[in-house]
Structure 1
Amino acid sequence: MAAGLRRDERSTTGADVPWTPRRVTTAGLLLAAVLLLLLVGIAGPSAAKPPLGPGGQELPWAPGPWLVTVLLWTAYVLGALGVHLHLRWGLPTRGSWTWALALPAIAVATGWATAFGSADHTNYAAYGRIADLGGDPYLTAPNSWPGHDPVISAVRPPWDGTTSIYGPFATLLQQAASALGGSNLRATVLWWQVGCLVAFAVVPMLLEQSGASRSRVTALWLANPLVLGLAVFGAHVDVVAAALVVLTLWAAPRSAFVAGLFAGLAVSTKVTAAVVVVAVLVAWWVHERRGWGSRSARYVGGVLVTAVPLHWWAGPHVFDQLERARRSISLATPWRLVYQLVDGPLGGAAARTLVTVLSVVVALLLVVVLARLTRGLAPVSVLGTATRWTFVLSTAYALSAAYSLPWYLLLTWATLPLLGASVLDRALLVHLLAATLAYVPGRVEGMTATVQRVTLWVRRVPVPYAVLLVWGWLTRAAWSGSSRSRAPRPPEPAPPPR
């Protein structure tokens, strides 16, 4: 049995699957998770949701810190269980995309469900506003902006003293949202969130055109409440980067130059998206070695056409905050445990250096592990190989980085549907759930001392060990051969070169 579905099978498989009690239960779990997320989105400000000023159509009710935490934990647990059952039992796919997009699209586009799960969207609005007013968001922190601006001053601790870490294309999009929203924070965030919704919706369309089965695209991305919570309701810039990476993969077999343009935009949105540049070059070397030099030159040329002007426009400080953030260590990673163990004997600077070195070693080991696990799961084609290596490199980084947040995993979940079913689906779902639960409710303000103590305990104790469990799970599967339960996928017909 093939690991994925051929292009001619996609339109029928799942469409005629009958509704059974198991499938009704699965759909009910997914719907309940989405409705709980919507409830948090349409409620008033909370420990998960910063205030956006006057206006809007939110409910005149704001959940307390305990309630919003329990609502989000429940939503994500139910969502993960629903995704697991969806992968196991399947659901009818006829009309699935319409239903999966309808609720979040209506809620976001009408301004009912504003972003939650962090205050990052207020940072985006402030950086865009600074750029729109002629300032440099890479040099000027929000609390350093002269005078009082209703958008810039809305950034909350601990980020009000932090300059932008995002790429120049992300800043350009943030500036566009600011230009549309003006001095209205709520309108600015709305425009940004609509852009994230568009990026979220583009991904499944491109995945299906690239040969992914509709059932896997729906289960892993479109109807995945955890992905929906991070990408649309969280409105994180990572969904834009993921969409641009998928655009690059889609374009690679069609036009090297166009693929390069998209890759340049992806890298200029988030620097970790550079993995797609390497992955596409590897895929051409494997499958189309003749003419590799000229094709690669067109590809790199496309990257430079978009990336160089954007970085020139952003100015010389574009990488300042990135360099400072490089030595940060997340509470929800195993590296925080290592750092706490060696901080006393070595001292802070030496301990951080050791953690950085060890995380690179683990990343390289995970590249080997994931390369073994994905062998035979991708189509034998340029697109399949490029997708496989994009997945391997981005996932190895997200799993091993000393500083990693749940929305960093969006690129993993945007490429996973193009691979065949394997142990990766289950192991990475566990990891995504653990990482997402770790950052509930999402803000450092609005919590009671008890809620803060409990949520920090979850972040510091069970979640790092869950990550270690996933490392061991994947490593054992890679060397036991338990992941290769499917035959290699057949090659996709290549579109005519241009």
Structure 2
Amino acid sequence: MTSQARTEAGPGLGARAAPVLIAGSVLLTITIGLLGPSAMVPGLEGPGWQPPYSLDARPSSHLVIALAALAVVLGGLGLLCGLWRTRALGEGAARALVLGGCLAAAALAFLPPSGSADHLNYAAYGRMVTLGIDPYVSGAADLPGDRVAAAVEAPWREEPSVYGPVATAVQALASWVGGDSVRLTIFVMALVNAAAFIAAGLLLDRLTRDDPALRLRAALLWTANPLLLYQLVAGLHVDTLAIAFMVAALVVSARGQAIPEGAVSRGRLAASGALLGLGVAVKLNVGLVALGPAWELRRRPRRLALVAGVALGVAALGYLWAGTHAFDQVSRAGKAISHASFWKLVQGWLQAVVGEGSAYRGEIQVGAVVVMALLAWALFRLQPPPADAARVAAVLVVAYVFATPYILPWYDGLAFALVAMVAASRVDLFLTAHLTLLSLAYLPARVDGQPADLEWLRTVVRQQVVPWSLLALTAGLAWWAWRAAARARTRPE
């Protein structure tokens, strides 16, 4: 019996287990925040009556890290089960998943962020703007005695901002509202973050509403995705805002392409370009998505010029406000290699064979571009013609997150959002495994407050187990994509 036949025969254990596993993962994520300051949850200075709220239970480090590990494992298994047996979940499941995911995101906005301390950096950058200090040349250490800057944790206290001007503007707005209260500043950013996540989910739901199977899959991949709720919403990462802009740009573009040439179509295309520009002005690397519309419009030069011109204009205005030196930190950060990346293994091999006199970052960057190009080509061969903007963007971003030397769990969010807009494939499962492994590698993604007896989570899991696993997973994705494309090309019409 084929998997198709098994899916249609009945719901099966996987379909019944998926909602339970997903709900359990989300509830554990909520519990971590609800318990309050811990090894997973940085403390927030400010009046206790201000949101976000928690029980301030002061749980042990071992407990909250175990809860986080369980949340990740359950979330990954639940997502795999749901994606494997999507049709068996039933036609009404999409609406329930969208509603549940939106409610979970809203609830998490009222709880202190967990998993990393990046949000404290965001608060400090916003504080700098309100004080007239340039966050692209200053770090929290340059604001001695400031309550908001004092909350930033090692090793990021000296680091200037690597985020775009739109992200900085949101951080400045939050700081203007929150003043010297870290708690209230974070809450304002959490509201914006949750709103962006929910907006992206509703846009994906609207885009796929005419195809029940695609709609259900989009809800699983984004709105009710327990791993994204854990990383993007509970983690309060600025990537969420950039992703929301990019999803909106592609949705508007898709609807604009369906309209004959005219004022309405041009208006939609201009709006799409503006949204692309705003996304790039949040985080520069999401600009990879813009290559999708560029490919789709390559034979329509006027439309391409309109979208590209508006996108470049919006992004340029933002970066002119921030100053061109805003690119300096991005350029420097772009040469880094994260400990969970398989390129860290390659760096170690090069140093062992050639010598330790160099970090070999340039060579690794070249290698990463080659791997990304090969992955993108293998995945592109799988796409049925004509390849639209969403498909091309999804191929490029999936190839990027698998190949880039600097990868963190929340970077996968953009790939999930784009994959949710195209037809189902085994890429869904590879991507879920990729995010699950990365999430386990960063338990948590902060240095302060970590127990010494759990140091093996960093030295063994993050630096050895996960890099080797990601290397195998990347090779598996390339092998599968190449064979699947070859089979598709030889299959009789």
Is 2:108–2:234's contact at 8 Å kept on the other side of the alignment?
Answer: no
The equivalent of 2:331 in structure 1 is 323
SS of the residue 1:461 aligns to: helix
Is 2:347–2:359's contact at 8 Å kept on the other side of the alignment?
Answer: no
The equivalent of 2:260 in structure 1 is none
Moved over 6 A (4+): 17-21, 482-485
The equivalent of 1:274 in structure 2 is 287
Is 1:265–1:306's contact at 8 Å kept on the other side of the alignment?
Answer: yes
Gaps of 5+ in 2: 1-6, 257-267, 489-493
Is 1:428–1:470's contact at 8 Å kept on the other side of the alignment?
Answer: no
SS of the residue 1:328 aligns to: coil
Structure-to-structure mapping, 1:65-214, within 5 angstroms: 65-90=61-86, 91=89, 92-108=93-109, 111=110, 113-145=111-143, 147-211=144-208, 213-214=214-215
Task: Report the residue type matching 2:31 in the other structure.
Answer: L
Offset at 1:31?
A: 0.9
TM-score normalised per structure 1? 0.87
CA distance in 2: counterparts of 1:483 and 1:465, whole angstroms: 27
The equivalent of 1:7 in structure 2 is none
Is 2:205–2:219's contact at 8 Å kept on the other side of the alignment?
Answer: no
Aligned pair in 2 of structure 1 residues 27, 351: CA closer, same or farther (>3 Å)? same
CA distance in 2: counterparts of 1:334 and 1:88, whole angstroms: 27
Offset at 1:86?
A: 1.2
Structure-to-structure mapping, 1:430-445, within 5 angstroms: 430-445=433-448
Range 240-249 or range 59-68, more displaced: 59-68
Aligned pair in 2 of structure 1 residues 104, 316: CA closer, same or farther (>3 Å)? closer
CA distance in 2: counterparts of 1:316 and 1:87, whole angstroms: 43
Deviation string, structure 1 residues 58-117 (Cα, Å, up to 9, x no partner)? 113122222221111111110111111112333323433222222331342xx2x21111
Task: Report the residue type matching 1:325 in the other structure.
Answer: A
Range 87-96 or range 229-238, more displaced: 87-96
The equivalent of 1:259 in structure 2 is 272
TM-score normalised per structure 2? 0.88
The equivalent of 2:396 in structure 1 is 393
Aligned pair in 2 of structure 1 residues 128, 334: CA closer, same or farther (>3 Å)? same
Offset at 1:456?
A: 3.0
Offset at 1:211?
A: 3.1
Deviation string, structure 1 residues 449-490 (Cα, Å, up to 9, x no partner)? 1112333310011111111111121121122227988xxxxx
Is 1:422–1:484's contact at 8 Å kept on the other side of the alignment?
Answer: no
Task: Report the residue type matching 2:225 in the other structure.
Answer: N
Aligned equivalent of 2:303, options 295, 301, 319: 295
Is 1:248–1:276's contact at 8 Å kept on the other side of the alignment?
Answer: no
Aligned equivalent of 1:466, options 457, 464, 469: 469
The equivalent of 1:237 in structure 2 is 238
Is 1:431–1:467's contact at 8 Å kept on the other side of the alignment?
Answer: yes
Aligned residues: 458
Gaps of 5+ in 1: 1-13, 486-498
Larger helix fraction of residues:
2
The equivalent of 1:62 in structure 2 is 58
Task: Report the residue type matching 1:78 in the other structure.
Answer: L
CA distance in 1: counterparts of 2:198 and 2:13, whole angstroms: 29
Offset at 1:126?
A: 0.5
Task: Report the residue type matching 1:432 in the other structure.
Answer: L
SS of the residue 1:418 aligns to: coil
Aligned equivalent of 1:307, options 306, 312, 315: 315
**Would you say 1:37 and 2:29 are equivalent positions?**
yes
Range 298-307 or range 98-107, more displaced: 98-107
Range 340-349 or range 330-339, more displaced: 340-349
**Would you say 1:360 and 2:369 are equivalent positions?**
yes
Offset at 1:278?
A: 1.8
Range 176-185 or range 99-108, more displaced: 99-108
Root-mean-square deviation over aligned CA pairs: 2.4
Offset at 1:350?
A: 5.5
SS of the residue 1:422 aligns to: coil
CA distance in 1: counterparts of 2:269 and 2:394, whole angstroms: 20
Structure-to-structure mapping, 1:38-53, within 5 angstroms: 38-53=30-45
Offset at 1:28?
A: 1.2
Is 2:351–2:357's contact at 8 Å kept on the other side of the alignment?
Answer: yes
